[in-house]
Structure 1
């Protein structure tokens, strides 16, 4: 809420996030926002506990939060460079369970609202039963007894209090996100949400909708110059014929879950509307094959839901994408992405390649080094350390990066965006942002961490245990961000540049 207000004051139209979906933060443990338990439910980790109305009336919860051990642990969390999701969620859950216990015994209007909410959402009841059963079983659903694997859950299979907890926290999360979306709209800075490609194989969606997913198959990517052995992403892909026979019901539910609150929705790996690389169980990623989907039908579904919810749709089309896919995106009004650090050119005349009209433009993504790290070649250092490139290739890449940096500086000088003879990194960043803001893309995203020259990325693709992905805490909290007037002034300059040169406003809904 604070971020959207601050961004709106700088002129922002949207504020973007990574996926906010439910995650496994205990057993199993996977904090990746792109491996959610479900694409139909939110992550209670993000619930603001002190904003819950029951908090003021729950003596036990307030006593716990104000206790010395609780405050000491919270202080240690805030001081750490890395987020310990497991410990933090366990601590937050203690408070949420106290609030839930107090709430279920109440007989007021909020309790009646909650009962109406849960009664109208049978999927929520099934989700809560699934999560509660998994907690009792202590293992993934694929290892449950046959009756449970097949969806035949009974009241005796789990703790009723745990079911109530999962229903309650979903109601809280949905209500707080609804309120945030309303406040954001009032401040003219809507939400930009992210719909991931897949779900965790041990998650609710695959258990609940087994007919919609291909069994004993994993989605991934074939070998390329960055990943010579290909990539196995570990999730079960949706089955093109089975979801079609079901009228794309599950996919529509996923879209509606996000579009209720999103002004803009990013579709992860948009190529999956056309095709997806399938890897049979027991085979290497090099031995997979592409399987086609009914893309026109996917586009039709997107267009209908986008129009109904007045949500613009962005397709993540980075990397090697066949021309016909981008042509289809353009035909259906689906905006693509332009990432400057991918598009820099060693030729000074066009060091920043033209931006396609109607696209979403940014300097980088969460899978890349922020601008400062890229400028200093830390991404090359990372690739060498991970064994993705050899020392000779790394040396050559560093030489090319130096030439590229010279070309970018010359280009920005010629465009009048850079004037200093020996510009600082901050001045080069500002010049790149202003150059990007002066183009006719439909939407421009600014990575908040770029503004303070962060060097480390959130995720290193192709790594699991080698890097602490998704766990790095932002260097500054909102209090420090709001206190730094230079950050606000830079965004305001970007906004003024956009107003002068970008007539399209926000991205449009697809056709």
Structure 2
């Protein structure tokens, strides 16, 4: 997320007719005023909200203190399973929340730091002797010591209940374990115990400072591409930039989109964050394709010919055409079968991914069967007889969609291996979107974890004075704890399978999210807090296990302690040159940048640097009617920002007297490289002179968001094969390498 106007996804839910689900989330009206007296929350309602992590007040972007309406608080509590239509309901709910720990033998789950002791409260009928141990994931057992802590027993639902306190010692191995409570020979309860690192430890041997390239993979095509950049192109990019000295290649989220059209263009609005979009598969690189008989091979080649000619066209990318062509080819290759050895690998992948993959493949098969239509009753329940029957009837299509994920996983592994063999320290850096489509696969399979009737967004700010509603259903904090953070963990494991690093979009969402009840304006939401210690702990545990580095996108309004906390835990932040300002609005000096960050000149929600310097962000927003201030005022501010930046570049001796556009772009990158930032990112669009923005926040059909192919300043397409001879790219990389070498 970032401090720029509009909906950062640049995608409309209305266009995604292949998705279905119970949630809608369009912002309908805006009200930033303090609620009227009848709608002010009572003291008891405020206390209940606080118990569930629901904010009842906040400070807005103008510095005014705002009280959240009782209507909003009740709607958010209802999404958390707490219905409070009256003050009597509130009183009952307060009593229930107070008694909740006493009603459970063990807490729902635990996520603890490895170096810290933890006191565990265990609740059993008063006087009952209980023992507790930890069942480690490797099969070993650790008995826990009971502490001499006495707590007054209390009556809970007619049972005199006592509390025993046990010590979970520091030093347990990192991993996913279970706490087990036993009375005599009878097991009473279990709960998940995740032991996470205190701070993420980078793999040994990494350089002190690294640089890399940022690219929107779908936009970077080769002559062999099927109209859209794919995993074979990713491997080529990793090989090329690895040879140039880059240590990472940050790409857009590869999360899965709709299996049948129209496909949502935004990579930040996937149907699931756990699985990969098969649009990125290169069909010819599937081993079985090489052994196809002539007629079948011809079908694959004919399908490719339908879209391959578009790779030199600077017009918006047609994902639907590319996917239609690939689907034809993939069906042929799938039908050809596999050797016993290859089938065993597929079977092993399927077993490792478990029920989550089976359910996703079933959702794809059902979406394909009922394309554009409402599903029959009974298919919304994963345990219903109707759905069991569908699993049987669609078994071959389920197998097909499982196979697609295996193929994509195999090609991702090849791309990561190619990048690291070319010398990259990290290789591919994946991007993790903040949420999912409200009518997608995750919304269907994770109903016990996602909040119903809620959309995630942002409150009004100086750039978005009506607030933002991204229409994505949030995970429920209570459900995450109740399920042992399994959904979050499994999603991270898939994204990290073939990655040396991960960028977490809007990492503040691990701390709090702005929840907007359906039917309310974006300004009529409130913050809901998450157990950040648990959320960050799970993230670090999964990253540590695969040796990956974590970068958190922490732009915008951030509580100061959050950045300190993330730095303490070994999570790098994000710095974007145009957003790094002094108190008087001038550009921050490079030596004052944070050290533990990925620093870049721009972000994908701004025009490429050449376009930004030419004020094309002002022109575009004026043309689309997105400006909230008079055009002359906005243009004057843009020029002032540029002039102050140019003056600062001259102060550091980075510019000649009359710099060209290329020299300005290179000077900006030299400036960022002179910061103490651990990682420096170079946008590929800047390297080739592109001027068009990939995404214009606040738009949908008005602008071709997430569709523009990589091109130079004259809108001539730049293919992967052209990069080696691109003089502008070579020159910029020389500048970055020289500045890094100065250290």
Normalising to structure 1: TM-score of the pair? 0.92
CA drift of 1:384 comes to 2.4
Q: Which one of the candidate residues 393, 396, 420 is aligned to 1:185?
A: 420
Q: Which one of the candidate residues 362, 375, 378 is aligned to 1:144?
A: 375
Range with bigger deviation, 439-448 or 486-495 = 486-495
Which residue is equivalent to 1:497?
A: 739
Could you report, residue by residue, the CA deviation over 1:341-360 in whole angstroms, capped at 9, with x for unpaired residues?
A: 22266877856683111111
Q: For residues 87-486 of structure 1, what are the structure 2 equivalents within 5 Å?
A: 87-103=321-337, 106-122=338-354, 123-139=356-372, 143-151=374-382, 152=384, 153-156=387-390, 159-189=394-424, 190-343=427-580, 350=588, 354-390=592-628, 392=630, 394-418=631-655, 420-475=656-711, 476-486=718-728
Alpha-carbon separation, structure 2, partners of 1:318 and 1:446: 18
Q: Would the aligned equivalents of 1:218 and 1:278 in 2 still touch at CA under 8 Å?
A: yes
Q: Structure 1 residues 390, 289: CA separation in 2 closer, same or farther (over 3 Å shift)?
A: closer
Q: Structure 1 residues 350, 77: CA separation in 2 closer, same or farther (over 3 Å shift)?
A: closer
Q: Would the aligned equivalents of 2:300 and 2:332 in 1 still touch at CA under 8 Å?
A: no
CA drift of 1:155 comes to 4.7
Indicate the structure with greater strand content: 2
Q: Would the aligned equivalents of 2:626 and 2:698 in 1 still touch at CA under 8 Å?
A: no
Could you report, residue by residue, the CA deviation over 1:6-38 in whole angstroms, capped at 9, with x for unpaired residues?
A: 111221010110001111263453121111121
Q: Would the aligned equivalents of 1:118 and 1:124 in 2 still touch at CA under 8 Å?
A: yes
Alpha-carbon separation, structure 2, partners of 1:88 and 1:263: 29
Indicate the structure with greater helix content: 1
CA drift of 1:107 comes to 4.4
- For the aligned residue pairs, the C-alpha RMSD in angstroms reads 2.1
Using CA pairs below 8 Å that are at least 6 residues apart, which structure has the higher relative contact order? 2
Q: Would the aligned equivalents of 1:28 and 1:139 in 2 still touch at CA under 8 Å?
A: no
Q: Would the aligned equivalents of 1:218 and 1:280 in 2 still touch at CA under 8 Å?
A: yes
Pair 1:36 & 2:270 matched: yes
Q: Would the aligned equivalents of 1:100 and 1:165 in 2 still touch at CA under 8 Å?
A: yes
Q: Would the aligned equivalents of 1:265 and 1:313 in 2 still touch at CA under 8 Å?
A: yes
Q: Structure 1 residues 120, 414: CA separation in 2 closer, same or farther (over 3 Å shift)?
A: closer
Question: Mind listing any 5+ residue stretches in structure 2 that lack a counterpart?
Answer: 1-234, 712-717
Q: Structure 1 residues 477, 177: CA separation in 2 closer, same or farther (over 3 Å shift)?
A: same
Report SS of the residue matched to 2:268. coil
Count of matched residue pairs: 494
Could you report, residue by residue, the CA deviation over 1:381-431 in whole angstroms, capped at 9, with x for unpaired residues?
A: 222233332562x2122222223322222221221211x211111001111
Alpha-carbon separation, structure 2, partners of 1:51 and 1:93: 15
CA drift of 1:447 comes to 0.2
CA drift of 1:273 comes to 1.1
CA drift of 1:201 comes to 1.2
Could you report, residue by residue, the CA deviation over 1:95-153 in whole angstroms, capped at 9, with x for unpaired residues?
A: 000000111xx44311222223223433222211111011112248xx43342101132
Could you report, residue by residue, the CA deviation over 1:418-445 in whole angstroms, capped at 9, with x for unpaired residues?
A: 1x21111100111111121122101111
Report SS of the residue matched to 1:202. coil
Q: Structure 1 residues 329, 348: CA separation in 2 closer, same or farther (over 3 Å shift)?
A: closer
Q: Would the aligned equivalents of 2:580 and 2:587 in 1 still touch at CA under 8 Å?
A: no
CA drift of 1:490 comes to 2.5
Which residue is equivalent to 1:506?
A: none
Q: Would the aligned equivalents of 1:10 and 1:492 in 2 still touch at CA under 8 Å?
A: no
Q: Would the aligned equivalents of 1:274 and 1:293 in 2 still touch at CA under 8 Å?
A: yes
Q: Structure 1 residues 83, 373: CA separation in 2 closer, same or farther (over 3 Å shift)?
A: same
Q: Structure 1 residues 326, 455: CA separation in 2 closer, same or farther (over 3 Å shift)?
A: same
Normalising to structure 2: TM-score of the pair? 0.64
Q: Would the aligned equivalents of 1:277 and 1:288 in 2 still touch at CA under 8 Å?
A: yes
Question: Mind listing any 5+ residue stretches in structure 1 that lack a counterpart?
Answer: 502-511
Alpha-carbon separation, structure 2, partners of 1:339 and 1:40: 28
